[in-house]
Amino acid sequence: MLVLHGLFGSLSNWSWHCKQLAQQFAVFGVDLRNHGGSPHANRLNYPEMAEDVLDLLDDLNIRSCHLLGHSMGGKVAMELALTAPARVKRLLVVDIVPITYPARADGHMQVIAGMKGLKLESLGSRGEAEIFLRRYIKDEPTRKFVLTNLIRSPEGGYRWRLNLPAIERHYDALREMPDNNSVFQKPTLFVKGAESAYIQSKHRTQTLAYFPKSDVKTIMGAGHWLHADKPQVFQQIAMDFLTAKDSAVELPLAEEK
């Protein structure tokens, strides 16, 4: 199975879950383009990121796999499942649905503004970086998550590991869900954090149009990073779904709780 991280993330954010899933599967954590250790590219959109993952499957000689994606990685996973359904056995999407999300003034662009505003050339420590980012990112877990991208450069200073200019330039494309007339007819599970607004009952019709054999599970006391907020609960839900028999019937998306 392949695990795809979210925006500003990397495969390292999912290392604990990959180890747990490896008890049942051969697991590959993937750094998507412009993130983690993967190459930087000028273009950043879901069709091209899905094509990257297909190329990886070909390189690994994997004909089909289970696919898990969180947030941006969930949209990559959905795009791949819709355009190359034969390559996906089961689809697990974490706290995202196939819609175009509106931009929020306190959302990702605020994070990008903080990262751009940090003067890397004079930065003395990661502690200084966190203090500066408090002006832009009020939520401490989100701030620490973003700082996982701050690494030492070969010259001894600091640099952002991800391709921040490309992410900023193509951010609108990352909010979107590409137009697609396909339907994925295999078992699909959406997992929602109860304190997150990314999956709502108003998204039900559009989600079922793409994924008619889908269900949704809600994890109480968890937000958008539900795999970090409630790792044991998420792991149990994921394992139950991924190891279930393939005789699943169509399950409607549950109403928002």
What is the domain-level CATH number for residue 91?
3.40.50.1820
Residues 133 and 214 both lie in one domain: no
Residues 6 and 86 both lie in one domain: yes
Residues 72 and 189 both lie in one domain: yes
- Which of 148, 171, 194 is where one domain is finished? 171
* Containing structural domain, residue 134: 108-171
163 falls within a domain = yes
249 falls within a domain = no
pLDDT the model gives residue 107:
85
The closest alpha carbon to 75, from 3, 6, 132, 126, belongs to 6
- Which of 126, 156, 171 is where one domain is finished? 171
Task: Tell me how many degrees the CA angle 100-58-237 measures, rounded to the nearest 5.
Answer: 55
256 falls within a domain = no
Residues 141 and 16 both lie in one domain: no
Residues 96 and 196 both lie in one domain: yes
248 falls within a domain = no
As a dihedral over the C-alpha atoms of residue 179, residue 182, residue 183, residue 186, rounded to 10 degrees, the angle is -110
Residue 155: CA count within 13 A, CB half-sphere: 6
250 falls within a domain = no
Contact 217, 194 (CB under 8 A): no
Residues 193 and 121 both lie in one domain: no
Residues 94 and 14 both lie in one domain: yes
7 falls within a domain = yes
d(CA 223, CA 34): 25
Phi first, then psi, for residue 68 (nearest 5°) are: -120, 130
pLDDT the model gives residue 237:
97
Residues 23 and 55 both lie in one domain: yes
Q: Which residues pair with 191 in a beta bridge?
A: 94, 217
- As for how many domains the chain has, the answer is 2
Residues 233 and 183 both lie in one domain: yes
Residues 181 and 55 both lie in one domain: yes
Contact 55, 70 (CB under 8 A): no
Q: Which residues pair with 151 in a beta bridge?
A: 159
pLDDT the model gives residue 141:
86
The sign of the CA dihedral 93, 71, 150, 133 is negative
251 falls within a domain = no
The closest alpha carbon to 1, from 72, 46, 64, belongs to 64
Q: For the chain, 257 residues long, give each residue's pLDDT as a single digit of tens.
A: 999 999 999 999 999 999 999 999 999 999 999 999 999 999 999 999 999 999 999 999 999 999 999 999 999 999 999 999 999 999 999 999 999 998 775 589 999 999 999 999 999 999 999 999 999 999 888 899 999 999 998 888 899 999 999 999 999 999 998 888 899 999 999 999 999 999 999 999 999 999 999 999 999 999 999 999 999 999 999 999 999 986 443 344 444 33
pLDDT the model gives residue 106:
53
- Which of 155, 171, 187 is where one domain is finished? 171
d(CA 54, CA 138): 37
Residues 153 and 70 both lie in one domain: no
Which pair of tokens denotes residue 42?
């000028």
Residues 84 and 201 both lie in one domain: yes
80 falls within a domain = yes
pLDDT the model gives residue 53:
98
